[in-house]
Chain A
Amino acid sequence: MAVPKRRTSRSKRNMRRANHDKVTPVQLIACPKCGEPTVPHRACASCGHYKGREIPGAKKASKAD
């Protein structure tokens, strides 16, 4: 059975992980209505608005972080 000849160095291991397994941070914008951080192209979770109007069901009651 084919088996690794050498232990993978920390450098090689990290170089591999740097590209394939990287985690990209969630991009946030400021809500144009209330200024809270919000995910782009979605109704704002804190004020429930998107493109200048309120979206029913979009506002989350408890969370305001």
Chain B
Amino acid sequence: MRHRNSGRKFDRNSSARRAMFRSLTANLVLHEAIETTDAKAKELRRVAERLITKAKRLGEVAYTAQDKLSPKDKARRLHVARLVGAYIPRFGVRTEKGGDQKKVDLVEKVLLDLAKRFASRPGGYTRTVKYGPRRGDNAPMVLIELIGEGDAAADEGEKKPKKAAAKTTVNSSKKATAPSGTEGVKAE
């Protein structure tokens, strides 16, 4: 029985599992959004959000310049940076839109960028969007992303009208789109 045992094992021993989540977390921090399976994304939330919460507990210390910090705060920040650094690799390389390679300090990104961005958000720093099964093993795939700065307001505003629109049944829509058929979809 798996009573009181939370979490998934992914058919891996603990070191392989840790290695997998280390790289998933690093890639999520680096790229802001990654594609993975639904199960891995659900488990990744716990790991990645705990890491961000560690940085958030510093408050403003996380993203204040070093020369403005008291020695005590410097030590607190260093400790958290080491906790974060113990889990994710220090650097990641991202290909920018122009094709340039950009080296990102992931630990500093968690402290400087993410701790600040999520300062007023009580947990739930990620969002997943399901988009269907993967070819090959039919695993349900999702896009998991770190929530952006302007997203909170957009989320609340869109929720209500969209829900009403989504309630339209398939049957009524088929009648509406019947003359155009599949051609109309591609045009859009």
A51 interface neighbour in B132, B162, B173, Cβ under 8 Å: B162
Determine the chain B residues whose CB is within 8 A of the CB of A39 once the complex forms.
Answer: 132
Central interface residue in A40, A41, A57, by most chain B CB within 10 Å: A57
Determine the chain B residues whose CB is within 8 A of the CB of A58 once the complex forms.
Answer: 129, 131-132, 143
Q: How far is B184's CA from A60's CA once the two chains are assembled, in angstroms?
A: 16
B166 on the A face (CB < 8 A): yes
B130 interface neighbour in A36, A42, A56, Cβ under 8 Å: A42
Q: How far is B181's CA from A8's CA once the two chains are assembled, in angstroms?
A: 48
Determine the chain B residues whose CB is within 8 A of the CB of A56 once the complex forms.
Answer: 33, 35, 143
Q: How far is B172's CA from A32's CA once the two chains are assembled, in angstroms?
A: 12
Q: How far is B124's CA from A52's CA once the two chains are assembled, in angstroms?
A: 21
User: Which residues on B are within 8 Å of A, measured CB to CB?
Assistant: 33, 35, 129-132, 141, 143, 158, 162, 165-170, 172-174, 176-177, 182, 184-186, 188
User: Which residues on A are within 8 Å of B, measured CB to CB?
Assistant: 28-30, 32-37, 39-43, 45-48, 50-52, 55-58, 60, 64-65
